[in-house]
A = this chain, B = another copy of it.
């Protein structure tokens, strides 16, 4: 496409419809706009075919709200992750219509709800304490246009629970598995299903869990070959990649 616009431009130059300086100028004019503190890239939706996403952590509520407002002018769906209640309140004040998930701190504007994924994305958590991450994955995948099936509290220390849910897992086209502590669930799930498994280590645990490091290392060393890994607590990333795969 860029290819085509470039060709068009060159044709205009050739035909004298545009002079060289103007052409140079146009070629430099890339499709994003400047808010001063953040380059908002409206074309990301085109490039990735996905709604806009804002990571609230590390930004002030005002910054988040300003970015959200600008994004909503061009995007039907906007997802804001890691928003604490104060941030959520500020965004809601400036841009009404969001849905807030306090467990994970996710805030979404979901105005366009076409199903785009071809199958089901299963989002699994090992324990009750891991749900805050699983929720981020679930909300992300839903907002990206997928049917999501969530299964909670099926950790490996009670394998019969896992086996009990085997059919729901094998019915999925992609599985997201969230687990803290020893992080063993993705390996067990990976052995049960034949589709891609995206493992999300969570910071759940204490002592030698080192804030999710134990789970992260466990998942990276999974002996199940169909497992890939994202950052600790990165439910969003897992839901995002699962959505990409489910559209294929």
Interfacial residues, chain A to chain B (CB-CB below 8 A): 3, 6-7, 10-11, 13-14, 16, 19-20, 23-24, 28, 30, 32, 36-39, 41, 44, 47-50, 53, 55, 57-59, 63, 82, 118, 126-129, 131, 152-164, 167, 173, 180-184, 187-188, 190-192, 194-196, 198, 201, 203-234, 236-238, 240-241, 244-245, 248
Contacts and interface: CB of A to CB of B under 8 A. Distances in A.
Contacts of A238: 228
B182 A219 contact: yes
A38 B128 contact: yes
A191 B14 contact: no
A103 to B, nearest CB: 9
B152 A159 contact: no
A9 B57 CA distance: 46
Nearest to A63: B128
A54 to B, nearest CB: 10
B225 A220 contact: no
A191 B153 contact: no
